[in-house]
Amino acid sequence: MEMRKVAVLGAGLMGHGIAQVAAQLAKYEVNLRDVKQEFLDNGMKMIRDSLKKFVDKGKISEEEMSETLDRIHLTIDLKEAVADADLIIEAVPENVGIKKSVFVEVEKFAGRNAIIVSNTSSISINELASAMHRPERFCGLHFFNPPQLMKLVEVVRGTETSDETVDVVVEAAKKMGKEPVVVKKDSPGFIVNRILIPALNEALYLVWEGVADRDEIDKAVRLGLNWPMGPLTLLDSVGLDTALAILEIFQSELGDVKYRPCPLLAQMVKAGLLGRKTGKGFYDWEKK
């Protein structure tokens, strides 16, 4: 199956970056859809800013930037976005109800041969597939933030996902400049978040128990484990609310005490200290 046109549903933090790599590297025609024009305009601004940085660094030419932007088409009409798309990438908020309702609508308008994927980082692929008439043409395609720079994608197989679907999605990911890994079995958090989120939670417990201060914990992990940023800085970047939601899914589905969210995390989320997205978390991002 040859991919020519991609639809990206959601122009936010992840969606705009996915649309960019699909248009820039794979040279797909991309329909970028969101529910409000202002969201689309903001997404395109982020794409332009990202491409401009590549131009300034000599990674791409002004002509390549212009050609990439020309391949991205904005719409608030779901039918227009997906009707002729070969690959439909869902990147809406990390809420199972919202995602399922989107898939129900998408299947009304998408072609029978279209492959639909979810960029979910934690929600069960099988649960999402339960809302679909053609689950064999559905799988997870989890990009990492920012999609323009991070090489990894997780291709997550559901119970009914066909081999052909996995093969096509893997090849599409490679065309987008990614290094795909296939997750053979649907499991909460897939590979990376299954390892990462409990580690971040453990860093929270170190703060909660008074074992070490914020800066010392971040410094220790950066220098001792060679992470590009410390765990508390990373939590601020991911969003503390997102980390809490993933831990709650782990605890619910895996039922192990080791996934119990640190009380400090719940307290900070209640206080609206979510990290970079709100300006304050463990660090003051307004000052940064």
Does the annotation count 154 as an active-site position?
Answer: yes
**pTM score of the predicted model:** 0.89
Tell me, what CATH number does 130's domain have? 3.40.50.720
User: Is the per-residue pLDDT at 22 higher than 70?
Assistant: yes
pLDDT digits (tens, 9 = 90+) for 258-271: 899 999 999 999 99
Does the annotation count 126 as an active-site position?
Answer: no
Percent of the chain at pLDDT > 90 equals 89
Report the pLDDT averaged over residues 36-45. 97
Same domain? 167 vs 102: yes
User: Is the per-residue pLDDT at 95 higher than 70?
Assistant: yes
Active-site residue (options: 31, 50, 119, 142): 142
Does the annotation count 142 as an active-site position?
Answer: yes
Same domain? 35 vs 175: yes
Tell me if 113 sits within 8 A of 85, measured CB to CB: no
Q: How far apart are CA 139 and CA 129, in angstroms?
A: 8
Is residue 89 helix, strand or coil? strand
| Domain containing residue 212 | 193-270
Same domain? 80 vs 219: no
User: Is the per-residue pLDDT at 288 higher than 80?
Assistant: no
Chain center to CA of 63: 28
Q: Given pLDDT bands bounded at 50, 70 and 90, which one contains residue 57?
A: very high
Active-site residue (options: 121, 122, 124, 201): 121
Does the annotation count 61 as an active-site position?
Answer: no
Same domain? 42 vs 115: yes
pLDDT digits (tens, 9 = 90+) for 185-219: 999 889 999 999 999 999 999 999 999 999 999 99
Same domain? 161 vs 229: no
User: Is the per-residue pLDDT at 255 higher than 90?
Assistant: no
Letter string b/e over residues 136-165, b meaning 16 or more CB atoms within 10 A of that residue's CB: bbbbbbbbbeebbeeeebbbbbbebbbeeb
Tell me, what CATH number does 244's domain have? 1.10.1040.50
Report the pLDDT averaged over residues 62-78. 98
Same domain? 227 vs 145: no
* Domain assignment of residue 280, yes or no: no
